[in-house]
Amino acid sequence: MRIGAALSVLVWGAVLGLLGWFFHDMYEQRLEEKKLRESLARLTEETPCARILVHAADVNADTGKTEISMSWLDTDANWKRLPGTEMKKLKVVGKEAYFDSYQIIFGSENVQEGDPLRGKTLTVFARAYGSDQKPSDGTPLNMPADVLGVAEAGGELIPPAFRQGDGAPTEVELRLWSRFWELCTDPEAAEREGVRTVQGTAVHKPLQPKMEYRLSINNQGQIFLDGPLPPDDFIGQ
């Protein structure tokens, strides 16, 4: 009997040990799966940037070229007017509208880990222009002073629309934008700052009159130009 009881205790102990290991392993797997889902979510998370309301797309009788007139609104995370910004009236020449930007893109590991300073691509929209225009003839939007030129940007290094937070620019932002062209041409300097690449990016498509379009960017720097959408007169929002 004593031997049987001892064997029973050993068997149950082994079963409980296996169950404990099994549930612990499941718990660890779920933790890893949660971390993976959070990491993927950070990579694909999108930030609203701007709303575009197209007023008209008319052919100029003198030139025979299409002219698209629109309003541009820098937005917060809820697609509302971003504090410190003003509505912009734009006109581009051509059947397609281009929205040109400059980007500082960080390494994927910083984005996946949710680094508070390098976990999101820094993007500013430089200008809007049409398919029948040179980019240099386009309408300026928002640019750091040291990239576009102090006179054109009003002397402000980082416009409010493109700061990481609501307050003053961070030390990292100031350093990166002030060294934009250096980071473009010096891979070692970019690597020291955790920057994967610095580049210009333009998105474009034909725009329909009386329709709205929206620009958003994911944390890896991919820009989305969504629309046409049902028109929403966002002036005054």
The confidence score (pLDDT) of residue 61 equals 93
Give the type of residue at 206.
Answer: P
The confidence score (pLDDT) of residue 211 equals 95
Q: Report residue 77's pLDDT band, with 50, 70 and 90 as the boundaries.
A: confident
Residues 6+ apart with CB under 8 A from 125: 49, 50, 99, 100, 101, 141, 142, 215
Q: Are the C-beta atoms of 93 and 130 separated by less than 8 Å?
A: yes
Six-digit token pair at 30?
Answer: 């779920």
Rounded to 10 degrees, the C-alpha dihedral 162/163/166/171 comes to -170
In the predicted structure, residue 16 carries a pLDDT above the cut 70: no
The percent of residues above 70 in pLDDT, for the chain, comes to 67
Reported as a single tens digit per residue, the pLDDT across 25-73 is: 665 666 555 554 544 555 568 889 899 999 999 999 999 999 999 999 9
Higher-pLDDT residue of 57 and 237 is 57
Residues 6+ apart with CB under 8 A from 120: 47, 106, 111, 164, 219
Rounded to the nearest integer, the mean pLDDT of the chain is: 78
Q: Are the C-beta atoms of 75 and 81 separated by less than 8 Å?
A: yes
In the predicted structure, residue 129 carries a pLDDT above the cut 70: yes
Phi and psi torsions of 82, nearest 5°: -75, 125
Measured CA to CA in angstroms, residue 150 lies from 157, 186, 219 at distances of 8, 23, 28
Q: Among all chains, which residue has been given the structure tokens 């720097």? A: 221
- The residues spanned by each domain of the chain are 1-44, 48-229
Q: Is 0.85 topped by the overall pTM?
A: no
Distance CA 135, CA 93 (A): 11
The confidence score (pLDDT) of residue 69 equals 96
The percent of residues above 90 in pLDDT, for the chain, comes to 30
Cα–Cα–Cα angle for 166, 109, 48, nearest 5°?
35
Phi and psi torsions of 161, nearest 5°: -65, -20
The confidence score (pLDDT) of residue 151 equals 41
